[in-house]
Every structure is written in C-alpha cells, then in structure tokens.
C-alpha cells in the first residue's frame, strides 16, 4: 500500500552510477565530478529521495541527533533555553531528542541511557552534580556532553552556564544593602538539585559574612506557585518574621506574592521578596519582582555552539555567563514601617 521511499540503490540505478557515488554527492560533493554531481542531483530531486537515517547512522556511527535531559519543560526557564538550543542545532542539521528528569537523578540516568541507546551523538545536561552511577555511565559510553545552568572553574567538563552561588550571593548582598538583616529563604529541594543547593549556599555565605544579619529560615519545596505561597504563609505565621524573603526562583517568589495579596500582607511594605531567573512571571506580578536575570537564551545558544564544537572537533571550551540583578518593586529599603515587624 505504502509506496516505499526510494533508496540509494534506486537513485544509483536511475543515475547509472554506483551507490558510493551517490553517497559522495550527498556527503562530500567536492569529491564528485561536477557533471556527475549535477546529473545525480537531478535524479535525487526527481525521485524525491531523502537518505534513510538509520542506514546512515549504522554505517557512519553517527546519528545527527543530540539529546537533552532537562528537569522539566513546564518551567519557562528551561523551555526557552531549550528552544534556542534546538534552533541552533536545527540550523546545523541536528535533530533534538528531549527528555525530562523531574528533578530526580534516577530518572535522569534512565533518560540519559535511553537517549544514548537511541544513538545521541551528544547530550545537554542541566546542573553539575550527579550520582556516581551516572558519571560512570557517561564516562564508559564516552558521550560528549555539555553542562548548562551552572559553571565550575577548574573542571574538565564543558559548561555553558553561570555560577549559582555567586549569583545568589549578589542578590543577598543587594538585600542586605537595603538594610535587611532578618532574612528567610524559600528554595527548591536541594538534595538532587545542585543549582538549588548552590543558591542556598550563596545566601548562607553572604549572610554569615555580615555580623548582624540572620538567616531565620530556609524552606525547601517544589517549584510551584502554590508551594511558594504555602512556604510564604508558613514563614509569616512565625513569631520571628523576616523583613525580606529570598526565593530560589521566580515561580516561588511569584507564589509568595500572590499569597501575600490574599493574606493582605503588603509587599514590599511589610516584607520584601526577591526572585531568581527573570522569566515573564517576574514582570507580570504585582509588585514586579526584583530578581536575578539568568541569561536563558544566551545559555541555550552557547550550549549549542559548544555542542557543535564538541561534535566537530571533539573539544571546545567552557563559558561562564553573567547574571544581573534586575531592580523592580518587590525589594524595598528597610524603613520604619518594616522595622516595626521586628519588635
């Protein structure tokens, strides 16, 4: 029923040359005499031939496919970075295999295995820390991979990311600069998530270095509006309230802000809130979020370039991208009104 697609063989017969020559005109055109090539190209056109990737992959041991395992597509963060990553790869004729780990390292390993089995020539991974089993698998299989969303110097892996600890430190410094001393944090679950871990560490570090500052609370929770709201509510129910809450990402911060409004808690009048990522949620929410801008698109683009280098030359280099504090409305100077909360 289904008309089978034409094969190299069919083209070769129609063009009266060997399959080798067809293959060459497709892959290395300059090794073919110009007249031969043109004739073949016409035949290809006429037959509507497109190479079969399985055959090609099997013979050449390359799949022209790159795999990405990200925590979730549901957060605009990763989705938009992935979007750019895909575009760049697509322009270089690579297809993108996508899988998600749900922030779970076992699932991540499973997905990595699946993509490698599928023949991915390279992998995009998020975050730098993974279990021994995963590291070993990657090493044994010798799959080139680039690590995004984080950066570590003196590491032989290829990064396209930023320093989460440093970024968290910088937003904390900003909060302290506004006069806040009693601080709480709402973060993502840290155990299987090094970005969250490092952001927490950055906040802790910065506060520890400021004699009169205090980190009242660090609540780890899911990256959802609801969970952010719940954590916020819990923090504000305590007798020792913070004057500023640093959030591990914008979703959490937006959740806190939405909840604050329901609870009639004024932000930033009573408590300041900061975000992390700078997704569109940050500007949509009222008050808009003072946050850390993470260069999502640039990261996707850079990761793709590193990937392409790796695939072509077997080597590339790491890139540390810069984050930036975006000042909006949710972080205020600590004034008397807020100070009253301290008594």
Q: Does 76 bind a second copy (CB under 8 A)?
A: yes
Please tell me the distance from the alpha carbon of residue 150 to that of residue 162, in angstroms, as a whole number: 5
Q: Phi and psi dihedrals of 83, rounded to 5?
A: -55, -50
Query: Is the CB of residue 90 less than 8 Å from the CB of residue 308?
Result: no
CB of 315 to DNA, least distance (A): 20
CA 145/CA 262 separation, integer angstroms:
45
Q: Which does 80 bind (CB under 5 to 8 A by kind): a second copy, DNA, none?
A: a second copy
Residue 13: CB atoms within 10 Å = 14
Task: Read off φ and ψ for residue 232, nearest 5 degrees.
Answer: -60, -45
* Residue 154 binding target from DNA, a second copy, none, CB below 5 to 8 Å by type: none
Give the interface segment with a second copy, choosing from 14-22, 29-37, 252-260, 335-343 (CB under 8 A).
Answer: 252-260
Residues of the shown chain interacting with DNA in the complex, contacts defined by CB under 7 A: 4-5, 7-9, 16-21, 23-24, 26-27, 30-33, 35-37, 49, 51-52, 54-56, 58-61
Q: Which of 111, 172, 193, 323 binds a second copy (CB under 8 A)?
A: 111
Question: By CB under 8 A, which span of 94-102, 121-129, 212-220, 315-323 interacts with a second copy?
Answer: 94-102
State how far the alpha carbon of 19 is from the alpha carbons of 15, 16, 74, 331, in Å. 10, 9, 46, 67
DSSP state of 101: -
Q: Is 269 in the site for a second copy (CB under 8 A)?
A: no
Number of residues that bind a second copy (CB under 8 A): 56
The listed partner (DNA, a second copy, none) that binds 99, CB under 5 to 8 Å by sort, is: a second copy
Least CB distance to DNA at residue 106 (A):
24
Q: List the structure tokens of 88.
A: 């760049």
> Left, alpha or beta for 149 (phi > 0: left; psi -120 to 50: alpha)?
left
Cβ-proximal residues to 28 (8 Å cutoff; 6+ apart), any chain = none
User: Pairing relation of β-strands 122-126 and 65-70?
Assistant: parallel
Task: State which residue, 27 or 210, has the beta carbon closest to DNA.
Answer: 27
Q: Which residues contact a second copy by CB under 8 A?
A: 2-3, 5, 48, 50-55, 57-58, 63-65, 72-74, 76, 79-80, 82-83, 86-87, 90, 93, 95-100, 111, 113-119, 140-142, 225, 251, 254, 257-258, 261, 280-281, 283-286
């Amino acid at each position: 029923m289904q008309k089978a697609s034409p094969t190299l063989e069919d083209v070769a017969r129609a063009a009266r040359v060997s399959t080798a020559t067809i293959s060459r005109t497709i892959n290395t055109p300059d090794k073919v005499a110009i007249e031969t090539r043109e004739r073949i190209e016409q035949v290809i056109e006429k037959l509507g031939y497109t190479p079969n990737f399985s055959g090609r992959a099997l013979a050449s041991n390359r799949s022209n496919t790159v795999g990405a395992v990200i925590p979730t597509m549901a957060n605009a963060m990763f989705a938009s970075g992935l979007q750019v990553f895909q575009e760049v790869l697509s322009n270089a004729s690579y297809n993108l295999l996508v899988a998600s780990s749900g922030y779970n390292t076992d699932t991540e390993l499973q997905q990595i295995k699946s993509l490698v089995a599928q023949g991915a020539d390279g992998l995009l991974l998020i975050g730098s820390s993974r279990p021994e089993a995963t590291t070993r698998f990657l090493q044994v299989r010798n799959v080139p991979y680039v690590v995004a969303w984080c950066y570590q110097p003196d590491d032989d892996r290829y990064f396209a990311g930023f320093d989460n600890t440093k970024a968290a430190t910088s937003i904390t410094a900003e909060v302290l600069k506004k006069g806040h001393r009693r601080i709480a944090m709402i973060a993502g679950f840290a155990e299987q998530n090094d970005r969250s871990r490092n952001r927490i560490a950055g906040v802790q570090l910065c506060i520890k270095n400021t004699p009169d500052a205090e980190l009242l609370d660090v609540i780890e929770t899911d990256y959802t509006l609801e969970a952010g709201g719940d954590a916020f509510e819990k923090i504000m129910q305590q007798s020792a309230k913070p004057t500023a809450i640093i959030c591990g990402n914008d979703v959490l911060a937006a959740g806190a802000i939405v909840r604050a409004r329901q609870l009639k808690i004024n932000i930033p009048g009573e408590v300041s809130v900061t975000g992390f990522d700078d997704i569109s949620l940050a500007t949509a929410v009222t008050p808009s979020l003072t946050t850390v801008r993470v260069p999502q698109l640039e990261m996707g683009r850079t990761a793709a370039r590193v990937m392409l280098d790796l695939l072509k030359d077997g080597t590339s280099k790491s890139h540390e991208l810069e984050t930036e504090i975006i000042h909006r409305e949710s972080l205020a100077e600590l004034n008397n009104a807020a100070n009253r909360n301290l008594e």
